[in-house]
Amino acid sequence: MVNRVWGRLIGSLTALGLMAGAASAVTAPILVVDAESGKVLYSQGATDPWYPASITKLMTTYVALDMVRQGKVSLDTLLTISPAAAAEPPSKMGFKPGTQITLDNALKIIMVKSANDVSWAIGEGLGGSVEGFADMMNETAHRIGMRESRWYNPNGLPEPRQWTSARDMAILARALMRDFPNQQGLFSISAIQYGKAVMANHNGLLGRYPGADGMKTGFICSGGFNVVATATRGGRRIITVVMGQPSARERDIKAADLFDYGFGQSAGWTAPTLESLPPSSVGAPPDMRPYICDKRKPMPVDEGPGALTASGPGADSVTTQLLGSATPDASNLAFAALSNANVRGRTLPPRAPLQPVPVWIGSSPTEGAMALAREEQEAQAAKQAAKQAALEAAQRKRAEAKVAKDAAKQAASEKAAKARAAAVTAPKPATKTAGKDKGMPAATSAYTAVEAAPKAAAKPAAHKPAAKKPEVKPAAKKADKPAKAKNDES
- 137 pLDDT exceeds 50? yes
Mean pLDDT score, 293-318: 54
Residue 284 sits in the same domain as residue 393: no
Q: What is the pLDDT of residues 419-465, one digit of tens each?
A: 888 888 877 666 555 445 555 555 544 444 444 444 444 454 445 55
CA 357/CA 168 separation, integer angstroms? 30
Domain assignment present for residue 338? The answer is yes
Q: Where are the alpha helices (DSSP H) in 39-150?
A: 56-69, 83-86, 103-112, 116-127, 130-143
CA 382/CA 375 separation, integer angstroms? 10
Which own/partner pairs from 444-453 qualify as long-range (CB within 8 Å, at least 24 positions apart)? none
- Judge contact between 95 and 107, C-beta under 8 A: no
Residue 282 sits in the same domain as residue 377: no
- Judge contact between 102 and 363, C-beta under 8 A: yes
Residue 288 sits in the same domain as residue 379: no
Domain boundary among the residues 406, 434, 462 is at 406
- Judge contact between 321 and 291, C-beta under 8 A: no
Domain assignment present for residue 422? The answer is no
Domain assignment present for residue 58? The answer is yes
Residue 171 sits in the same domain as residue 48: yes
Residue 192 sits in the same domain as residue 267: yes
CA 333/CA 108 separation, integer angstroms? 36
Domain boundary among the residues 348, 363, 378 is at 363
Domain assignment present for residue 417? The answer is no
- 310 pLDDT exceeds 70? no
Residue 396 sits in the same domain as residue 336: no
- 211 pLDDT exceeds 70? yes
Residue 286 sits in the same domain as residue 382: no
Residue 349 sits in the same domain as residue 225: yes
Question: Where residue 151 falls among pLDDT bands split at 50, 70, 90?
Answer: very high
Q: How many CB atoms lie within 10 A of CB 448?
A: 16
- How many structural domains does the chain have? 2
Domain assignment present for residue 438? The answer is no
> Domain range holding 338?
2-363
- 322 pLDDT exceeds 60? no
- 2 pLDDT exceeds 70? no
**CA count, 13 A, side-chain hemisphere, 10:** 23
- 307 pLDDT exceeds 90? no
Which of 39, 22, 23, 21 lies closest to 31 in space, CA to CA?
39
CATH label of the domain that carries residue 198: 3.40.710.10
- 103 pLDDT exceeds 90? yes
- 185 pLDDT exceeds 90? yes
Average pLDDT, the chain: 81
Q: How many CB atoms lie within 10 A of CB 37?
A: 12
Q: What is the pLDDT of residues 35-53, one digit of tens each?
A: 999 999 999 999 999 999 9
Residue 315 sits in the same domain as residue 350: yes
Please tell me the predicted confidence (pLDDT) of residue 323.
46
What DSSP line would sit under 274-318, residue for residue?
GGGSPPP---S----HHHHS-TTSPPP-SSSS---S--STTHHHH
Domain assignment present for residue 188? The answer is yes
Domain boundary among the residues 310, 341, 363 is at 363
Please tell me the predicted confidence (pLDDT) of residue 10.
41
Residue 312 sits in the same domain as residue 371: no
Residue 290 sits in the same domain as residue 383: no
pTM of the model: 0.72
Domain assignment present for residue 450? The answer is no
CA 333/CA 175 separation, integer angstroms? 31
Query: First vs last Cα of the chain: how many Å apart?
Result: 149
Domain assignment present for residue 247? The answer is yes
Residue 172 sits in the same domain as residue 60: yes
